[in-house]
Amino acid sequence: MTSPKSRITSIDLLRGLVMIIMALDHARDFLHMDFFNGNDPLDFATTSTPLFLTRWITHFCAPVFVFLAGASIFFSGNKKSKTELSLFLLSRGLWLIILEITVICFGWMFDPFYKLIFLQVIWAIGLSMVFMSVLIFLPKQVILFIGLVLVFGHNLLDVYDTPKIVHTDFLWSVLHQPEKFTITESHSIIIGYPVLPWLGLMMLGYVLGGFYSKDVNPQKRKTTLIALGLSCIALFVLLRSGNFYGDSWLWKEQKTAVFTALSFIDCTKYPPSLLYLLMTTGPALLFLAFAEKIKGKAVEVISIFGRVPLFYYVVHIYLLHVIAGVLFFATGHTLGEIDFTREIPEAPENFGFHLWQVYIVWLVTIGLLYFPCKWYDSYKRTHTQWWLSYL
């Protein structure tokens, strides 16, 4: 059994690392000049290698976040009965969905009229938890089987994504195909994270949690994690090499050898393809295998972010948005230059910073986030109020 206050450092460290990397992507969203010019950092016609890799490295964030959320559910099951855990997952899942629609959407847009609601990773985790509130009553072997079917099989549904074959409805979008829906003339909703693959990944993370039970030999756990990690990477390379299966976005020869190599790892995130999930969870499993005994001041600092992920997630969006606003006015721009008639308020194309400047803002942001996260981590460790488990 895991005591209520015990933590697994390697998991906190991995989660903390991806939280830090995630802030880089969002700093780019708020500040990089190419974002305001409408250029996709993964478009080989307009991108550069540093810009591509800046976006690509953040692909690890959502899968690791969801995967480890599944493991956390298993750990919570060591402290609660199945009924208690089910009720907690149901209530926390619904809470996360509400949080996405309200607090998080406002943090992204600063739009009190909520003209656009964007359902992203927190929504996907919340809805997956709602499903998990029922699925945890199944035997672990059945959970493993369903998780594998969802992760390995959901790309078979890609054939139905073409509008000529089936009209995209809301339920289909919730399950598989990202889509935008008009609610009223001035309000829309975008489902960016269809739930099926994320639920499957969470289920596999739940099974992963069993490797950290007291009766599992640490060396056996390490060997198993290495085998699984290498298998994921090998299967990714095999399937990707001939564009055999697992991603409808095929890699192609590009104008340079470097871009061709980058095309090979440019996999679909919305929804996450099988190859995307193999490419990201494989290295994550290897990290867990080799980081179990790692120690040091840097480990402790990074782990603090990993121990308060939801708090960090919400605060970092607001902090980056405020920093972007300050820099907008500090560089001579005015409120009148922002087009508030659009669903996403649009800054002028001549606003934005070079990539190296975005990196500086990212590092400053991480430094500023450390102090509130450290305070909240300390508060959670020394207090037991029920609502702390929801934040």
**Segment 35-58 mean pLDDT:** 94
Give the phi and the psi of residue 6 in degrees, each rounded to 5: -75, 150
Give the closest residue to 374 by CA, choosing from 321, 294, 303.
303
Least confident among 17-31, 94-108, 338-352, 358-372: 338-352
* Residue that is written with structure tokens 């992963």 in the block: 208
Cα–Cα–Cα angle for 73, 75, 76, nearest 5°?
A: 65
What is the pLDDT at residue 2? 38
- Asked whether the beta carbons of 299 and 9 are under 8 A apart, the reply is yes
Whole-number Å distance between alpha carbons of 283 and 56: 14
248: DSSP letter:
S
pLDDT of 162 strictly over 70: no
**Rounded (to 5) percent helix, strand, coil in the chain:** 65, 5, 30
Cis check: omega of the bond before 271, within 30 degrees of 0: yes
What is the pLDDT at residue 1? 35
DSSP per residue, 198-244: HHHHHHHHHHHHGGGSTTS-HHHHHHHHHHHHHHHHHHHHHHHHTT-
What is the pLDDT at residue 161? 64
Q: Given pLDDT bands bounded at 50, 70 and 90, which one contains residue 344?
A: confident
Whole-number Å distance between alpha carbons of 30 and 323: 9
| Tens-digit pLDDT profile for residues 200-256 | 999 999 999 999 999 999 999 999 999 999 999 999 999 999 999 999 999 999 999
Element (H, E) at 127: helix 121-135
Q: Given pLDDT bands bounded at 50, 70 and 90, which one contains residue 7?
A: confident
Torsion, CA 340, CA 341, CA 346, CA 349, rounded to 10: -110
At 139, list the tokens. 């035997």
Whole-number Å distance between alpha carbons of 43 and 60: 19
188-191 β-sheet, strand order: 116-119, 188-191, 179-182
pLDDT of 278 strictly over 90: yes
DSSP per residue, 262-277: HHHT---TTTTPHHHH
The dihedral sign for the CA sequence 145, 147, 151, 154: positive
* Residue that is written with structure tokens 């010019």 in the block: 37
pLDDT of 3 strictly over 50: no
What is the pLDDT at residue 345? 76
Whole-number percent of the chain with pLDDT over 70: 96
Cα radius of gyration (the chain): 21
What is the pLDDT at residue 384? 87
More confident residue, 1 or 107: 107
| Tens-digit pLDDT profile for residues 117-151 | 999 999 999 999 999 999 999 999 999 999 999 99
Torsion, CA 168, CA 170, CA 174, CA 176, rounded to 10: -10
Q: Three-class SS of residue 246?
A: coil
pTM for the full model? 0.94
